[in-house]
Structure 1
Amino acid sequence: MVARRILGAVTCAVTVAAMLALGSAGAAPAQEAMHAISQHGTPKYGPGFTHFDYANPDAPKGGEIRLSAFGSFDSLNPFILRGQVAVGAGLVFETLTTGSGDEVTTEYGELAETITLAPDRSWVEYALRPQARFHDGRPVTAEDVIWSFETLKEKGHPHYRTYYADVVKAEKTGDRKVRFTFRDTGNSELPVIMGQLPVLPRHVFETRDFAATTLDPIVGSGPYRIESVQPGRGITYRRVEDWWAKDLPLNKGRYNFDRIRYDYYRDLDVAFEAFKAGGYDFRSEHSSKNWATGYDIPAVRDGQIVKEEIRHEDPRGMQAFVFNIRRPLFQDRRVREALNQLFDYEWTRANLSYGLYRRTKSYFANSELAATGTPGEAELKILEPYRGKVPEEVFTKAFEPPVTDGTGNIRPQLRTALGLFKQAGWELKDGKLVNVKTGEPMRFEILMVQADLERIVQPFVRNLERAGIQAAIRVVDSAQYQNRTDNFDYDMIIASFAQSLSPGNEQRDYWNSARADQPGSRNLIGIKDPVVDELIEKLIQAPDRDSLIAHTRALDRVLLWNWYVIPHWHDNVYRVAYWNRFSHPAVAPKHGLAVIDTWWVDPAKAARTPSTAPQTAN
Structure 2
Amino acid sequence: MVNNKNTGRGVFYIMSQQYIHLFKKGTAVLMLSTAFACAAMAEPTHGLEMYGAPELPADFTALPYVNPDAPKGGRIVTGEGGTFDSLNPFIQKGNAPWQLRFMMAEGLMGRAFSEPFTLYCLLCETVETDENRTWVEFTLRDEARFSDGSPVTVEDVMWSFETLGTKGHGRYAALWAQIERMEQTGPNKVKFTFNVENRELALLTAMRPILKKSYWDDKDFTQSGIENIPVTSAPYVVTDVNPGMYVELSRNPDYWGKDLPFMRGQANFDTVRFEYFADPSLVIEAFKAGELNAHREINVQIWDDHYDFPAVERGDVIKSVIPHQRPTGMTGFAMNTRLPQFADWRVRQAMIEAFNFDYINEAQTESQQSRITSYFSNSPLGMRPGPAEGRVLEMLEPYKDDLLPGVLEGYSFPKTSGREMDRGAMRRALKLMEEAGWTIQDGQMKNADGQPFTFEIVLSVGEDENQSIIDTYTQMLLQLGIQPKISIVDKAQYTQRMETFDFGMTPVRYGLSLSPGNEQYAYFGQVAAQTPGSRNIPGINDPVVDDLIARMLNATDREDSLAATRALDRVLSAGRYAIPLYAWNESYNAHVKELHYPESLPLYGDWIMWREMTWYWEEEK
Partner of 2:588: 575
Tell me by how many angstroms 1:345 deviates: 1.1
Quote the Cα distance in structure 1 between the aligned partners of 2:579 and 2:356: 11
- The answer on 1:492 being equivalent to 2:505 is yes
- The answer on 1:367 being equivalent to 2:383 is no
Partner of 2:43: 32
- The answer on 1:205 being equivalent to 2:221 is no
Alignment of 1:311-390 (within 5 A): 311-373=323-385, 374-390=387-403
Q: Deviations over 1:366-393 (max 9, x none)?
A: 1111112221121111111112112142
Q: How many pairs does the alignment contain?
A: 577
- The answer on 1:154 being equivalent to 2:162 is no
Contact 1:28–1:120 (CA<8 Å) still a contact in 2?
no
Quote the Cα distance in structure 2 between the aligned partners of 1:34 and 1:569: 41
Partner of 1:74: 85
Q: Among residues 72, 80, 86, which one is paired with 2:97 in the alignment?
A: 86
Q: Deviations over 1:43-84 (max 9, x none)?
A: 121111111122122211112111101111112121222222
Q: Among residues 517, 521, 528, which one is paired with 2:530 in the alignment?
A: 517
Contact 1:68–1:264 (CA<8 Å) still a contact in 2?
yes
Partner of 2:19: none
Alignment of 1:157-236 (within 5 A): 157-184=169-196, 186-215=197-226, 216-236=228-248
Alignment of 1:456-495 (within 5 A): 456-495=469-508
* TM-score, normalised via structure 2 length: 0.90
Tell me by how many angstroms 1:441 deviates: 4.0
- The answer on 1:280 being equivalent to 2:285 is no
| Residues 29 and 331 (structure 1), Cα distance of their counterparts in 2 relative to 1, 3 Å cut | farther
Q: Among residues 604, 613, 617, which one is paired with 2:620 in the alignment?
A: 604
Quote the Cα distance in structure 1 between the aligned partners of 2:315 and 2:370: 29
Q: Which amino acid counterpart does residue 86 of structure 2 have in structure 1?
A: S
Structure 2 stretches lacking a partner, 5+ long: 1-37
Contact 1:323–1:493 (CA<8 Å) still a contact in 2?
yes
Q: Deviations over 1:280-329 (max 9, x none)?
A: 01011101231121112222112111111112212221111111222222
Contact 1:29–1:119 (CA<8 Å) still a contact in 2?
no
* TM-score, normalised via structure 1 length: 0.90
Q: Which amino acid counterpart does residue 619 of structure 2 have in structure 1?
A: P
Tell me by how many angstroms 1:189 deviates: 1.6
| Residues 39 and 388 (structure 1), Cα distance of their counterparts in 2 relative to 1, 3 Å cut | same
- The answer on 1:238 being equivalent to 2:250 is yes
Contact 1:163–1:505 (CA<8 Å) still a contact in 2?
no
- The answer on 1:42 being equivalent to 2:41 is no
Q: Deviations over 1:173-218 (max 9, x none)?
A: 111111110124x422221121111111111222222222221211
| Residues 218 and 349 (structure 1), Cα distance of their counterparts in 2 relative to 1, 3 Å cut | same
| Residues 440 and 354 (structure 1), Cα distance of their counterparts in 2 relative to 1, 3 Å cut | closer
Q: Which amino acid counterpart does residue 557 of structure 1 have in structure 2?
A: R
Tell me by how many angstroms 1:437 deviates: 2.1
Quote the Cα distance in structure 2 between the aligned partners of 1:361 and 1:603: 42
| Residues 345 and 392 (structure 1), Cα distance of their counterparts in 2 relative to 1, 3 Å cut | closer
Does 206-215 or 447-456 show the bigger shift?
Answer: 447-456
Tell me by how many angstroms 1:438 deviates: 4.9
Tell me by how many angstroms 1:518 deviates: 2.0
Quote the Cα distance in structure 1 between the aligned partners of 2:442 and 2:235: 64
Quote the Cα distance in structure 2 between the aligned partners of 1:35 and 1:277: 46
- The answer on 1:262 being equivalent to 2:274 is yes
Quote the Cα distance in structure 2 between the aligned partners of 1:538 and 1:164: 22
Q: Among residues 541, 547, 552, which one is paired with 2:554 in the alignment?
A: 541
| Residues 210 and 401 (structure 1), Cα distance of their counterparts in 2 relative to 1, 3 Å cut | same
Return structure 1 stretches of 4+ with deviation > 4 angstroms. Answer: none
Q: Deviations over 1:222-258 (max 9, x none)?
A: 0111111111111111111100111111111111111
Contact 2:460–2:491 (CA<8 Å) still a contact in 1?
no
Tell me by how many angstroms 1:563 deviates: 0.7
